[in-house]
Amino acid sequence: MKRLKQMVLLSSLGCASFFLLDAKDTKPLRVDLSERQRVSGYSLIDTWGSKGGEVGVVSVENRTATTTKVNNIEELTSTECSSRERRYSVFYKNGLWLRDNQSLQTEEIEPEGDFSTQCFSPDPKLVYFSGGRIRIYDVQLKKRTDITEEKDRTWPTSSPNGKWLGFDDGKRYTLFDLETGERKKLFKYSRGVYWSPDSRYLTYTAPGGRMGGFLFWGIECIEPYRAWVWRVEDGEHDWVKQICKPGRTLMWVDDSALSLQ
């Protein structure tokens, strides 16, 4: 009987340990992201200094990058922002303008303001900021709505699934749930926030990292930055690439856009 009780106790402890391990993913963030990218078919790239259509594809697990080509570098480096199917584009020309790429008709949205690189929700609706306020413009209804009453909110982005609207609140990058109104304050805002295609991760750059060794003319990297990834569901984050100035936007693209795998 005593032995039976011991077996039951050990069995219970084993089950408890299993559930504790199962409750928290023990994989490091970079390993988790690397696997997710392979399964979902997208990659994190750096377009800085691209020549001849070449970009750097970041190995988030190893913190390295390899050079490859993309099919249309102009789309990735354009100053315009386009909807998912590229039906609509927004651009700045003495004001914010919206262009229907099918009819080629244009309309002015605001005499002033600005937008991020991910400015359309799937609907599609345009997210932008003007006068320090975050606004949504319904392309079909041609209706403008203020999302926040507070001012000094800038650089909004729309998650690809349309659930979240992200923006800089002056101190932190904040996510606003468009259905519930819930807010999540994330990282201290720096530069270049970009959503992964599945809306699970955000990448951004912030000052930090090593300045490098000394070359005969001075320090190798005077202004070091790092590209970071933040997992939305639990706030886990880690850096994935060392950058020597300037801090810039990295972006995720579908692997079908890459010419060399």
Q: Which of 115, 116, 153 is nearest to 133 (CA)?
A: 153
Residue type, 77: T
User: pLDDT per residue over 167-213, tens digit each?
Assistant: 998 889 999 998 898 999 999 876 789 999 999 999 999 988 877 65
Residue at 4 is within a domain: no
Q: DSSP states of 43-95 as a string? A: EEEE-TT--TTEEEEEETTTTEEEEEEBS-HHHHH-SSEE-TTSSEEEEESSS
| Residue 120 lies in domain | 78-189
Residue at 153 is within a domain: yes
User: pLDDT per residue over 2-44, tens digit each?
Assistant: 444 443 333 443 444 333 434 444 688 999 999 999 999 999 9
Q: Return the CATH number at 159.
A: 2.120.10.30
Residue at 177 is within a domain: yes
Q: Which of 144, 150, 208, 146 is nearest to 174 (CA)?
A: 150
Average pLDDT of the chain to the nearest whole number: 84
Q: Which of 65, 35, 51 is nearest to 227 (CA)?
A: 65
Rounded Cα distance, 103 and 44, in Å: 33
In sequence order, what are the residues at sequence separation of 6 or more whose Cβ sits closer than 8 angstroms to the Cβ of residue 152?
Answer: 132, 169, 170
Residue at 22 is within a domain: no
Residue 100 phi, psi dihedral angles, 5° rounding: -85, 110
Rounded Cα distance, 147 and 133, in Å: 8
What pTM value is reported for the model? Answer: 0.83
Residue at 212 is within a domain: no
Looking at the 3D structure of the chain, how many domains does it have?
1
Rounded Cα distance, 191 and 131, in Å: 20
Helix (H, G, I), strand (E, B) or coil at 178: coil
Residue at 82 is within a domain: yes
Residue at 219 is within a domain: no
Per-residue pLDDT at 255:
93
Residue at 201 is within a domain: no
User: pLDDT per residue over 60-114, tens digit each?
Assistant: 999 999 999 888 888 888 899 999 889 999 999 989 999 999 999 999 999 988 9
